[in-house]
Amino acid sequence: MIEIESEEILAEKFKIIGGETLKGEVSIGGAKNAVLKLLAATILVKGSTKIYNVPHLTDVDIMLNVLSDLGAKCVYNKTEKSVVVDASDITSITAKYELVSKMRASFIILGALMSRCREAIVALPGGCAIGERRVDFHIKGLEALGAKIKIENGYVHAKASKLVGTDIYLDIPSVGATENLMLASVLAEGSTRIQNAAQEPEIIDLANFLNTLGADISGAGTSEIIINGVKVEDLHSVEYTTIPDRIEAGTFMAAVVATRGKAIIKNVYPAHLTFFNDKLIKMGASIKLVEPTTIEVSCKNRLNSINFVTQPYPGFPTDLQAIAMTLLTTANGVGIITESLYENRFMQVPDLRRMGADIHQDRNHAIIKGVKNLTGATVAASDLRAGAALVIAGLMANGETIVEKLHHIDRGYEEFEYKLSNLGAKIKRYNEENTGDGIISPAINIRGI
């Protein structure tokens, strides 16, 4: 096992000198929120599975450690960005607190273990502190499939002699619940229908991956998903390539627009960002399709303010809300953001105010009056996306910005400072023992297990 958050990693900071216009090309990596679920799904197969386009992230490292702890053999190849998982032998049904507490997405292992082993003991999840994300939808769905569940001492203990397909209606289109129930239903008897299912591209990618393995799933990407159960011997080893990360793509698009730059962004699926792209264009950005997976993003003038409400896909993604707020801090006029999904997802507001932003918050509403410019300050990432938003604020600001608590950012952005530097940003990683005369690579240690 490896230590994810050592004192050295926790001490790392970004030093940013703002005011540079971003120009050039950047390539987007594999989707974090897709690949984590694909990795969990590999334990359904009594054999070896290879996944390509896997980003080099601490969250990936955590999931590999979860799988390794269950008995799977995992090898990450950094050069080709691939992972091989051999889940021929699962020797444990327990996903431990010290791993699951670090990353909420690892709770998805519950559905996969129930499908493969008919029993699972999984710690209640952790992750970014952006608000309540209940697991009762997961639990009720598994119970409907026939599982008996106890929650005690911080663990969910689920067990079933067999799982039987049924109709499941989700009160809200929860991504995690949809994915957990898809995984649990793959080897269930009969047919399962998930109604009011989440429709995110990552759901489609998981369904495509499972179907490639030999599952029988239809309707992914709509509000109704049907899973016809198969036998474990019907599943087989495959090679599969993860979709690009739409949130990373949106982040770099915003960074270019924020600095009034112009850049080519490769390995992106524009259709996954339709709502976000529309809002950027209304603010004054230009987005041109160069090739099916390549876009050109540019902005010449000061942006205009907009209003938006975060919604489940295909609406405005909550994961890009903090980043869009940063753009609004220096836009013409007044913009209003309504965060409809998580009650604590305005955690970037105090730090943006430290940089000179004029933001009034009223519960889940934020009113942003554009100022002439932001000024550099010392700020700290409170969660993954808030951290990225503060980096973009630093690129926009006059003077020097220090961004602390980079371990949050490293959960979801691969080689963030390298990619920004290649676009012309003045950004360096350093810690207290190193003053940061050069760019220091993230202290992430994904390795073969």
Q: pLDDT per residue over 77-86, tens digit each?
A: 999 999 999 9
pLDDT tens, residue by residue, 182-206: 999 999 999 999 999 999 999 999 9
Q: Which of 382, 311, 379 is nearest to 344 (CA)?
A: 382
Structure tokens at 393: 């604020």
Cα-to-chain-centroid distance, residue 370: 29
The reported pLDDT for the residue numbered 103 is 85
pTM here is: 0.93
Alpha-helical runs (H) found in 101-245 = 109-117, 136-144, 175-185, 201-213
- 7-29+244-430 and 32-241 have identical folds: yes
Task: Name the maximum alpha-carbon separation found in the chain.
Answer: 64
Could you give phi then psi for residue 437, rounded to 5 degrees?
-70, -20
Question: Do the Cβ atoms of 182 and 163 come closer than 8 Å?
Answer: no
First to last CA, the chain: 8
CB atoms within 10 A of CB 252: 25
CA angle 434, 439, 441 (to 5 degrees): 90
Q: Cis check for the bond before 312: say yes or no (omega within 30 of 0).
A: no
pLDDT tier at 135, thresholds 50, 70, 90: confident
Strand order in the sheet with 48-52: 73-77, 82-86, 48-52, 239-241
The reported pLDDT for the residue numbered 297 is 98
* Chain mean pLDDT for the chain: 92
Can you give the residue ranges of every domain in the chain? 7-29+244-430, 32-241
Calpha distance 293→166 (Å, rounded): 38
Average pLDDT of the segment spanning 127-139: 62
Average pLDDT of the segment spanning 346-367: 96
The pLDDT of residue 262 is above 70: yes
Phi-psi region of 366 (alpha: psi -120 to 50; beta: other; left: phi over 0): beta
Average pLDDT of the segment spanning 125-151: 77
- The CATH fold assigned to 32-241 is UDP-n-acetylglucosamine1-carboxyvinyl-transferase; Chain (3.65.10)
The pLDDT of residue 443 is above 50: no
**CATH fit for domain 7-29+244-430, picks 3.40.640.10, 3.65.10.10, 3.40.80.10, 3.10.20.30:** 3.65.10.10
Pairing mode, if any, of strands 13-17 and 239-241? unpaired
2-7: Cβ within 8 A, 24+ apart = 2/61, 2/65, 2/445, 2/447, 4/58, 4/61, 4/62, 4/102, 4/407, 5/102, 5/407, 6/443
The pLDDT of residue 442 is above 90: no
Strand order in the sheet with 358-362: 307-309, 334-338, 365-369, 358-362
Calpha distance 422→114 (Å, rounded): 45
In angstroms, the Cα distances linking 176 to 125, 173, 180, 336, 433 are: 11, 9, 6, 28, 40
Residue 128 annotated to the active site? yes
The reported pLDDT for the residue numbered 126 is 52
Among residues 74, 117, 128, 299, the one annotated as catalytic is: 128
Phi-psi region of 71 (alpha: psi -120 to 50; beta: other; left: phi over 0): left
Measured torsion, CA atoms of residues 61, 65, 67, 69, in degrees rounded to the nearest 10: 180
DSSP assignment string, 288-336: EEEETTEEEEE--S--B--EEEB-STTSB-GGGHHHHHHHHTTSBSEEE
Structure tokens at 359: 């933001």
The reported pLDDT for the residue numbered 101 is 85
The reported pLDDT for the residue numbered 125 is 79
CB atoms within 10 A of CB 89: 10
Residues of the chain above pLDDT 70, percent: 92
Structure tokens at 305: 């303010």
